[in-house]
Amino acid sequence: MTNQLLRHLLLGLVCASSALDALPVSAVPMINDPKGFQNIEWGATLAERDGIAPAKTGSHISEYRSTAGPAIFAGAEMTSILLLSVDDQFARVTIRYQGEQTHAQVMKFLETQFGPLERIPGQMARGLNQQYNWRGPETEINVTYQANTERGFIFIDSRTLAPRFNDHITDSAE
């Protein structure tokens, strides 16, 4: 009888920890909405801009990279910075970076520019997968950091244009 009770308790703990791990992350209200990225406003046509070259073009979605040198964000060199447009309108930035020190620099920059994260007592600030969000009237910033591989991903989205990417994803995700 005690073995069965112990199994049920363990199963309950596993289910509870899985549920807690899957809870949505709430976004911090953004104090300084950039309304774009690096002086490029949401909705701008990227194809005609100097210093930006197409990396991959499609019928609705196109990716662009800077031709001006290394990918720099938050004062640090990033692995890559992609600017994405949907139907020729600038709608998203995808940034990849590597390293715990770079992650700390990125987080310090984002909190300085867009507002401090809400530190709730008992909230885990470290973990294998960390996620941070800021939401402004026109822009949303999502950071995901994988501590075990020290890889970080930043998505800076136009709140009105980025949802249109979903309109162009096929059922087979190709």
Return the pLDDT at 117.
87
Q: In the chain, what are the domain boundaries?
A: 25-168
d(CA 151, CA 99): 6
Mean pLDDT for each 10-residue chunk of the chain (174 residues)? 44 38 64 95 93 91 92 96 96 97 97 86 63 96 95 97 80 46
Displacement of CA 106 from its chain's centroid (Å): 12
Indicate yes or no: pTM above 0.75.
yes
